[in-house]
Structure 1
Amino acid sequence: MVSSAKLLLALASFIYTAQAQAQANDKPTKASIEPSMDGKRVSERLNVMLNTTQYTIEPWKDNNYIAADCARIAKEKSISPSDFDVFYVRYSDCGEPWVFCRERKSKATDKDLADSFGKMPVRSRSFVRHVIGLAGRPDIKFAGLWTGPGSDIIVVDKPEIKVMVHELMHAVDHMAMGAHTGGTMKPLSGTALWRGEWAKDPKTVTPYASNGWSDNFAEVGVYALYDRTVPGGLAAIQPSFADVQNQIRTLQKYAGQTIVPGGTCSARIQPSKAVLKSAAASRRKRGLKPDLSFHDPGISVIKVDDAAKWVEISAAHDHAH
């Protein structure tokens, strides 16, 4: 005879397994639009229509330090923090600079990273803490990655502009939708509202948009930005636009001015604290530790909980749709 305790344990195990399986199967599985999106053309037109904001690059004066988020990512990917250069990028549309970290082996230069990020709408950029450039290697299977709650964008070498937009849209989804979802790190893509609008459309934008709800939002975001930015909109290059219009319009509605180019920043996520790159750096003669606090009184601080569980959402290397 099986004891009641064993029965309860078996039942609990079954429920846990069923819940885990349901979560694994909870994906926006739907056929992608036909004809398929012309990803190359979309990237080319976005590159032309999204103007890079004027900026200056200022290397950190003391190379012994690195931003804490950059150090965390480096160690997570088995890269030495000492292999990174750290620099400010001061864009003309924001009174506070962004802190970038770039692995020296990356095929992208400091200017490449600053140019690409500077094409993004400033009200979206404001929800990104750091841009981190990594060098491609066999064990890195992604072209881009967004990680939170700090809200950092990581790119590998020099991907096409759509990868930067895709990762930016993860930041918009997780960090900019609090008024509609109840707080940061509560993405719109995780709500019944988003899934309901998705369900109204017969198709979704790309095969990658079925990878998960977060990627669904981010992929739709690429085409929503194109639709808002390029004359004629998405319908001019996609005859089946009506098949995805509820997803596009819903994202545009709730993101609002956040994804519209122009304007200036009024709120920002502060950089993560400056930390030493290595134990050896602690023994070397050092200058003053970089002060990463904000000094512009016109910019409010978007608070993040660095103690919360970190989330990573990556875009695969075959991100050519």
Structure 2
Amino acid sequence: MASKISVLALLPLALANLDKPVIQPNFPGGGLASLGQGLLDNLKPTQSTSDVWGAGWIPADCKSLVQGAGLSPNDITPFNIHYTDCSQTWTFCRHKDSPLSQTDIIDLFGRVPVRMRDYIRHYVFIPGNKSAGSSGDNTLMVGDVDITVFLHEIGHSLDSHAFDPSYGVPFSTGNVWISNYNQDSAVTDSYAQSSQQENFAQETVVSVYDKNVPGGIGNIQPNWQAIFHQYATLEGYIGDTIIPGGTCVNRLTDSQPVTMSNSAKFRRTLGPKPTVSLSPDVKEIKPIPMADSIKMTSFDEHGKPNGTYVINL
């Protein structure tokens, strides 16, 4: 694994790129994990069924992420989730030793508003110290991550897709976002300080909480005015995407099925090759290609971001 990870020691998040301080008082615990229980209490699960892929097959993007993390694709189970609010399945990949069970994953993702779920291609769940990172509309989830991490990572895809039809142009780099950021006096936490993209993704978590938990963000953050223009701008532009209800309208096509192993012996045990296609009921979202590396953010035992590392793909 060490040969694939280009930064072995965690880089502290204190190396901030944004010029605003962390909100005072801090969110409980120093990060947004404190929003998790309120989100779980108010975002209800979605009914679903699931099934696993044929033996020996894995989505190409899952394989790249798993191998980049120094793990074997042979220890991965790709599975489809059929939620009742979408005609299109999601295909996720779980390592046999991930602390999140398949049932956990289906439950947590199903609590996310369906119009947000549209913007995720694959989630990949592996064991290790709690951390997460996104590349090409895919997310690598390490360890026992919570619903705030699910929402944060979807925030990156929303940033690239949900506001601009040209795709791949982050809303967080545009004049609307920057001008509203400039009207506020703070950001959510040290994670948000690291870049406007991370700041936007953290404000995605805040916005989902604000719109779905009675009393909104003022329930947990008395100084909400210090970040108001940021989360209000996100809420205004994204609209009902972050509110439960409705059905999926747009979807990303899954990456193509590839074999877990190239050996001839392994190929003799292959199951039926999965079919990857979009339902005629949804409009295709143009996927963003994966980069050659993925920046991972790590979290302490309380869910507070505490560093970063890079995995080469």
Same fold judged by TM-score > 0.5?
yes
Which residue of 2 is the match for residue 72 of structure 1?
Answer: 64
Structure 1 position 40, deviation (Å):
4.8
Classify the secondary structure of the residue corresponding to 1:86: strand
Which residue of 2 is the match for residue 122 of structure 1?
Answer: 114
* C-alpha contact 1:32 1:207 (8 A) present in aligned 2: yes
Which residue of 2 is the match for residue 59 of structure 1?
Answer: 52
Select the structure with the greater relative contact order (CA < 8 A; seq sep ≥ 6). Answer: 2
Q: Whose helix fraction is larger, Structure 1's or Structure 2's?
A: 1
Structure 1 position 305, deviation (Å):
5.0
Equivalent in 132, 137, 145 of residue 144 of structure 1:
132
| Structure 2: stretches of 5+ with no match in the other structure | 1-14, 306-313
Equivalent in 166, 173, 180 of residue 152 of structure 2:
166
Equivalent in 192, 203, 216 of residue 199 of structure 2:
216
User: Match of 1:46, as an amino acid?
Assistant: L
| CA shift in 2, pair 1:227/1:136, >3 Å | same
User: Match of 1:143, as an amino acid?
Assistant: S
Structure 1 position 59, deviation (Å):
1.2
Identity %: 32
Structure 1 position 192, deviation (Å):
2.6
* C-alpha contact 2:56 2:269 (8 A) present in aligned 1: no
User: Match of 2:271, as an amino acid?
Assistant: G
| CA shift in 2, pair 1:67/1:239, >3 Å | same
User: Match of 1:154, as an amino acid?
Assistant: L
* C-alpha contact 1:144 1:155 (8 A) present in aligned 2: yes
* C-alpha contact 2:261 2:267 (8 A) present in aligned 1: no
Aligned residue pairs total 285
Runs of 4+ in 1 over 4 A off after TM superposition: 308-311
Task: Render the CA deviation track for 1:172-221: whole Å, top value 9, x for unaligned.
Answer: 11222224xxx222111122321221111011112211011111001111
User: Match of 1:184, as an amino acid?
Assistant: Y
Q: Give the Cα separation in 2 of the matches to 1:276 and 1:217.
A: 36
Which residue of 1 is the match for residue 183 of structure 2?
Answer: 200
* C-alpha contact 1:144 1:164 (8 A) present in aligned 2: no
* C-alpha contact 1:163 1:315 (8 A) present in aligned 2: no
Which residue of 2 is the match for residue 244 of structure 1?
Answer: 227
- Given the two structures, how large is their TM-score scaled by the length of structure 2? 0.86
Q: Give the Cα separation in 2 of the matches to 1:254 and 1:84.
A: 38
Q: Give the Cα separation in 2 of the matches to 1:44 and 1:191.
A: 32
Structure 1 position 286, deviation (Å):
2.8
Q: Which is greater in Rg?
A: 1
Equivalent in 263, 282, 287 of residue 246 of structure 2:
263
Task: Map 1:16-55 to 2 at 5 A.
Answer: 27-38=17-28, 39-55=32-48
Q: Give the Cα separation in 2 of the matches to 1:263 and 1:230.
A: 19
* C-alpha contact 1:144 1:314 (8 A) present in aligned 2: yes
- Given the two structures, how large is their TM-score scaled by the length of structure 1? 0.83
| Structure 1: stretches of 5+ with no match in the other structure | 1-24
| Cα root mean square deviation, aligned | 1.9
Q: Give the Cα separation in 2 of the matches to 1:215 and 1:171.
A: 11
* C-alpha contact 2:79 2:92 (8 A) present in aligned 1: yes
Task: Render the CA deviation track for 1:245-291: whole Å, top value 9, x for unaligned.
Answer: 10010111122222111110011001100000001365314333110
Classify the secondary structure of the residue corresponding to 1:144: strand
